[in-house]
C-alpha cells in the first residue's frame, strides 16, 4: 500500500482515481498531511484560472506538474464572476468547473481559495463594486453581507458539485477569506455557510497572518503561512526595505516573523493549542502542521515600487522553509497571468473603493513567477524542480523529522558572522540544510566548516558564497554525503554535485572522495548517480524542442514623440500613482508590423526604456508593463486572427521619480525602444 501511495504523490495524489470512486483518505497531524496512512510533503502552486485563456489551461497545468507541483491552488475572484449584481459568468476563462475537470484529467488536486475577499492584487480585493454601494460592512458576519456571500458560495458549488475529493474529484480543500485580522467568528460563519451548501472536504484553511482578534476553534481551519523576498507594497523607495532578510535565515516557526504584506507574528497555535476541539480528520498529538500557501515564487511590480527578483531568491526561501520544519511548500505565484476583460479595469489601484493600497498594472499579473504570464519557464522553474523531486521521493522520511536550529535566530540584514544552517532529524536519520545566500547581500564563503548531525561528523569543507543545498545523513544506505539528494527511481539514487564543494559520499565503511558528476547513465558507485546542477534540474523532464524562428523580424516605426511629460501625483495611500488612460494620449507611439508566420509558441520581445508601456491590438489594450529593467513580452498566439499591426505607447522616464527602480534599470530620462524581436517561448 505504501508503494502505491508514493506513486500517488509522484503523479499528483490521484493515480488511483480510475480504480475506485473514492480518493485516498486524507488526515493531518502536527507534522504533515497523511494520505492513506503515508506521510507526504506536497508542493502547492498558485495559478489563477480566470487570468489565463481557457485554451491554455491544459498545457499550463502540465507544466506545473512537470515542475514538481502536486497541488493546484486558485482564487475564485468574486468580481470576475459577478461583476454585475446577480449576473454570474462561468463562461470562457471564468469557467471554473472546466478548469477543475482539467485538473482531474491531469491528476492534480485543487485547493479553492473561495474569498469573498481574495486580494491577489485584484480590484477591491475581488469584492465587486456594487457590494460597497449596499451600505453593509464587508468581511463581517452581518446578515446582509453573509447573504451575498451565501449566494456566491452556492454559485461556486454548482461548479464544484461532483468534483469534491469524496466523489473522486480533485477538490481537496478550501480557504476562507484571506489575510483576515478580525474575529474568528466571521471565518466560522463562512465555513458554516459552505458546509450547509454541500462543501464536504478533507480539510479547510485560512491564511495564518495577521493574528486574529479572536481565535477559530482548533482544528476547524489549518493556518497557512508565507514569506517573500521583497514586497511591492512597501512604502519605502530603498533597495532592501522591510524585514524580508529574515526569510533567508532558518527560524523556529513558533517565534518567526513572516516577511509579507502586513504579516505579523506567526500564530503560536502551531504548537500550543489543545486538541479539545480537534477535527475528525486530525490525528491525535496536538498542534498544527507548519504549511505555507504564500512562499514568494516571484513578486509583482507596483507603480511606486518595482522589485527585480532573482532565481536564487525563491530557491533559498524554499530550502529555508523546508529546513525550518515546513512540510508543505505553497508558492504564490507559481504561474503568472493576465487580468481578464471586465466592465471596468480589474486591477488594484489607489483610486478604487477598497483594497487601494497600491497601483498595479491594468492587465499583466506576471509576478516574475517560475512560469511567467504566458507560461515562459524562468530559471527558478528548473531550480525549484529538483527540490520538489526530493520532496516527492523522501517526503515520507522528512515529514516526521523535527527541526533543530544551531544558529542565531535573530539576525541583522546581511549578517555574515556565521554559516546559516539547520537540520531535521529522527531516529538517527537527518537532513542538513545550508543557506549561504541573502537577497542583494554579499555573504562570504565560510571556511573549514565541520557539521555534526545524528552523531555523524561530516568532513571539513569550504562553503562558497551563494551555496544553497541539502545534505543527507543516514538516508538510504548513505551515511553522509556532501552532495544533494534529488530523486530515486527503480533502485537508482540521483544526487546533485554542489558547485565549489568537493563531493564525498560515505556508504557503510567506504568513503568515496572527490567524485565527479558522470550524469544519468554512469554511476559513481553501485546505484548512486552524480549529476551536475543542470542535469539535476532537468532530470526526467521531457521538453518540447525549441521552435525554429525564421529570420523575419518585426518592422518598428516611431510615429510620435511624447508630447507632454506628466505630473506624477501621489494617491490616497501616499505613494506615486500610475498614469491614467488620458496620460497615454501624450505618450510616444510606435507601430510594430509583424511578419506573416505561424505564431504558436512565439513571443514578442520589446527591449525598451521608459516609465510605463502599453500594447494595443486593433485599438484595444492587450497588455502593459511597468519598466524595471527586463523586456516587455507578449504572446503572439493570443492576438486576434489576422492582426499584424500593433501599437506600442511608452511614457518617458523622468528625473527623480518617487519610484523604487531596481539596479538593473536604466534611468536615463526619456524613452527608447532598443530592439523588438520574436523568440520561441521555450
- The β-bridge partners of 227 are 295
pLDDT band at residue 18, thresholds of 50, 70 and 90? very low
Backbone angles phi, psi at 59, to 5 degrees: -65, -40
pLDDT digits (tens, 9 = 90+) for 89-145: 999 999 999 999 999 999 999 999 999 999 999 999 999 999 999 999 999 999 999
Please check whether residue 456 is in contact with residue 480, taking contact to mean a CB–CB distance below 8 angstroms.
yes
- For 385-428, where are the E strands, in sequence order? 402-404, 421-426
C-alpha separations of 155 from 95, 191, 205, 671 in Å: 12, 15, 20, 47
Please choose, from the candidates 642, 640, 641, 622, the residue with its C-alpha nearest in 3D space to the C-alpha of residue 632.
Answer: 622
pLDDT digits (tens, 9 = 90+) for 292-316: 999 999 999 999 999 999 999 999 9
Which residue is associated with the grid cell 489594450? 621
Please check whether residue 274 is in contact with residue 286, taking contact to mean a CB–CB distance below 8 angstroms.
yes
Distance CA 580, CA 524 (A): 61
Q: What letter does residue 49 receive in the DSSP assignment?
A: G
**CATH 3.20.20.80 intervals, the chain:** 37-251+284-394
The CATH architecture of the domain made up of 37-251+284-394 is Alpha-Beta Barrel (3.20)
DSSP secondary structure letters along 103-165: HHHTT--EEEE--S---TTBGGGG--HHHHTTTPPSSS--HHHHHHHHHHHHHHHHHHTT-BG
Distance CA 487, CA 489 (A): 7
Q: Name residues whose C-beta falls within 8 Å of residue 146's C-beta, 6 or more positions apart in sequence.
A: 189, 193
Environment class of 131 (CB within 10 Å of its CB; exposed 0-12, middle 13-18, buried 19+): buried
Using the predicted structure, report yes or no on whether residue 269 has a pLDDT greater than 50. Answer: no
pLDDT digits (tens, 9 = 90+) for 41-93: 999 999 999 999 999 999 999 999 999 999 999 999 999 999 999 999 999 99
What is the pLDDT at residue 87? 98
Please choose, from the candidates 593, 616, 621, 614, the residue with its C-alpha nearest in 3D space to the C-alpha of residue 671.
Answer: 614
Q: What letter does residue 17 receive in the DSSP assignment?
A: G
Q: Of the CATH numbers 3.30.420, 2.60.40, 2.60.120, 1.10.10, which one belongs to the domain with range 555-680?
A: 2.60.120
Mean pLDDT, rounded, of the chain: 93
Determine the straight-line distance between the first and last CA of the chain, rounded to whole angstroms: 38
What is the pLDDT at residue 78? 98
Q: What is the dihedral of CA 579, 580, 581, 582, to 10 degrees?
A: -100
**CATH 2.60.120 intervals, the chain:** 555-680
pTM of the model: 0.95
Please choose, from the candidates 466, 467, 525, the residue with its C-alpha nearest in 3D space to the C-alpha of residue 495.
Answer: 525
pLDDT band at residue 549, thresholds of 50, 70 and 90? confident
Please check whether residue 4 is in contact with residue 16, taking contact to mean a CB–CB distance below 8 angstroms.
yes
Distance CA 383, CA 387 (A): 7
Q: What letter does residue 460 receive in the DSSP assignment?
A: P
Please check whether residue 155 is in contact with residue 112, taking contact to mean a CB–CB distance below 8 angstroms.
no
pLDDT digits (tens, 9 = 90+) for 345-388: 999 999 999 999 999 999 999 999 999 999 999 999 999 999 99
Using the predicted structure, report yes or no on whether residue 172 has a pLDDT greater than 50. Answer: yes
Give the cell for residue 181.
485580522
Amino acid at each position: 500500500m505504501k508503494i502505491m501511495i508514493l506513486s500517488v504523490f509522484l503523479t499528483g495524489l490521484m493515480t488511483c482515481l480510475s480504480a475506485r470512486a473514492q480518493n485516498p483518505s486524507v488526515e493531518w497531524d502536527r507534522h504533515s498531511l497523511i494520505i492513506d496512512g503515508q506521510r507526504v510533503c506536497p508542493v502547492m502552486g498558485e495559478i489563477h484560472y480566470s487570468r489565463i485563456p481557457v485554451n491554455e489551461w491544459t498545457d499550463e497545468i502540465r507544466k506545473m506538474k512537470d515542475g514538481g507541483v502536486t497541488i493546484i491552488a486558485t482564487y475564485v475572484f468574486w468580481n470576475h464572476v459577478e461583476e454585475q449584481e446577480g449576473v454570474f459568468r462561468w463562461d470562457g476563462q471564468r469557467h471554473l468547473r472546466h478548469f477543475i475537470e482539467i485538473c482531474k484529467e491531469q491528476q492534480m488536486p485543487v485547493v479553492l481559495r473561495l474569498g469573498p475577499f481574495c486580494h491577489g492584487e485584484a480590484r477591491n480585493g475581488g469584492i465587486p463594486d456594487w457590494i460597497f454601494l449596499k451600505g453593509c460592512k464587508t468581511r463581517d458576519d452581518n446578515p446582509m453581507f453573509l447573504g451575498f456571500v451565501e449566494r456566491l458560495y452556492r454559485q461556486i458549488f454548482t461548479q464544484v458539485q461532483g468534483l469534491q475529493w469524496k466523489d473522486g474529484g480533485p477538490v481537496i480543500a478550501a480557504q476562507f477569506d484571506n489575510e483576515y485580522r478580525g474575529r474568528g467568528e466571521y471565518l466560522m460563519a463562512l465555513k458554516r455557510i459552505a458546509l450547509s451548501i454541500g462543501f464536504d472536504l478533507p480539510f479547510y484553511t485560512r491564511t495564518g497572518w495577521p493574528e486574529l482578534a479572536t481565535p477559530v476553534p482548533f482544528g476547524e481551519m489549518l493556518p497557512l503561512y508565507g514569506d517573500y523576498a521583497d514586497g511591492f507594497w512597501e512604502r519605502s523607495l530603498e533597495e532592501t526595505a522591510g524585514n524580508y532578510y529574515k526569510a533567508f535565515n532558518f527560524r523556529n516557526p513558533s517565534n518567526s516573523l513572516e516577511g509579507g504584506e502586513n504579516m505579523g507574528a506567526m500564530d503560536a497555535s502551531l504548537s500550543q493549542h489543545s486538541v479539545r476541539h480537534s477535527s475528525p480528520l486530525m490525528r491525535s498529538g496536538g498542534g498544527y502542521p507548519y504549511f505555507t500557501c504564500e512562499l514568494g515564487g516571484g513578486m509583482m511590480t507596483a507603480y511606486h515600487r518595482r522589485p527585480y527578483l532573482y532565481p536564487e531568491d525563491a530557491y533559498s526561501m524554499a530550502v529555508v522553509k523546508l529546513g525550518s520544519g515546513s512540510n508543505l511548500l505553497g508558492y504564490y505565484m507559481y504561474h503568472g497571468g493576465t487580468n481578464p476583460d471586465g466592465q471596468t479595469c480589474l486591477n488594484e489601484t489607489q483610486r478604487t473603493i477598497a483594497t487601494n493600497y497600491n497601483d498595479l498594472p491594468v492587465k499583466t499579473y506576471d509576478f516574475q513567477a517560475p512560469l511567467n504570464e504566458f507560461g515562459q519557464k524562468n530559471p527558478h522553474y528548473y531550480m525549484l524542480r529538483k527540490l520538489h523531486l526530493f520532496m516527492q521521493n523522501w517526503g515520507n522520511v522528512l515529514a516526521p523529522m523535527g527541526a533543530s536550529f544551531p544558529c542565531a535566530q535573530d539576525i541583522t540584514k546581511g549578517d555574515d558572522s556565521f554559516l546559516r544552517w539547520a537540520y531535521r532529524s529522527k531516529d538517527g536519520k537527518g537532513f542538513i540544510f545550508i543557506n549561504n545566500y541573502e537577497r542583494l547581500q554579499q555573504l562570504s564563503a565560510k571556511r573549514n566548516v565541520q557539521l555534526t548531525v545524528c552523531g555523524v561528523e561530516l568532513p571539513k569543507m569550504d562553503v562558497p558564497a551563494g551555496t544553497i543545498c541539502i545534505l543527507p545523513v543516514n538516508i538510504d544506505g548513505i551515511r553522509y554525503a556532501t552532495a544533494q539528494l534529488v530523486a530515486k527511481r527503480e533502485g537508482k539514487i540521483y544526487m546533485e554535485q554542489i558547485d565549489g564543494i568537493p563531493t564525498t559520499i560515505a556508504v557503510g565503511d567506504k568513503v568515496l572522495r572527490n567524485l565527479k558528476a558522470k550524469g544519468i547513465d554512469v554511476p559513481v558507485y553501485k546505484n548512486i548517480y552524480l549529476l551536475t546542477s543542470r542535469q539535476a534540474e532537468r532530470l526526467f523532464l521531457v521538453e518540447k524542442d525549441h521552435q525554429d524562428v525564421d529570420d523575419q523580424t518585426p518592422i518598428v516605426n516611431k510615429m510620435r514623440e511624447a508630447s507632454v511629460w506628466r505630473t506624477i501625483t501621489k494617491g490616497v495611500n501616499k505613494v506615486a500613482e500610475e498614469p491614467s488612460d488620458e496620460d497615454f494620449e501624450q505618450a510616444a507611439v510606435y507601430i510594430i508590423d509583424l511578419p506573416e508566420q505561424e505564431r504558436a509558441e512565439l513571443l514578442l520581445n520589446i527591449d525598451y526604456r521608459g516609465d510605463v508601456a502599453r500594447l494595443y491590438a486593433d485599438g484595444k489594450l492587450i497588455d502593459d508593463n511597468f519598466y524595471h529593467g527586463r523586456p516587455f513580452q507578449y504572446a503572439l498566439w493570443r492576438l486576434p486572427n489576422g492582426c499584424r499591426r500593433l501599437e506600442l505607447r511608452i511614457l518617458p522616464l523622468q528625473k527623480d521619480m518617487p519610484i523604487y527602480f531596481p539596479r538593473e534599470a536604466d534611468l536615463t530620462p526619456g524613452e527608447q525602444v532598443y530592439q523588438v524581436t520574436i523568440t520561441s517561448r521555450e
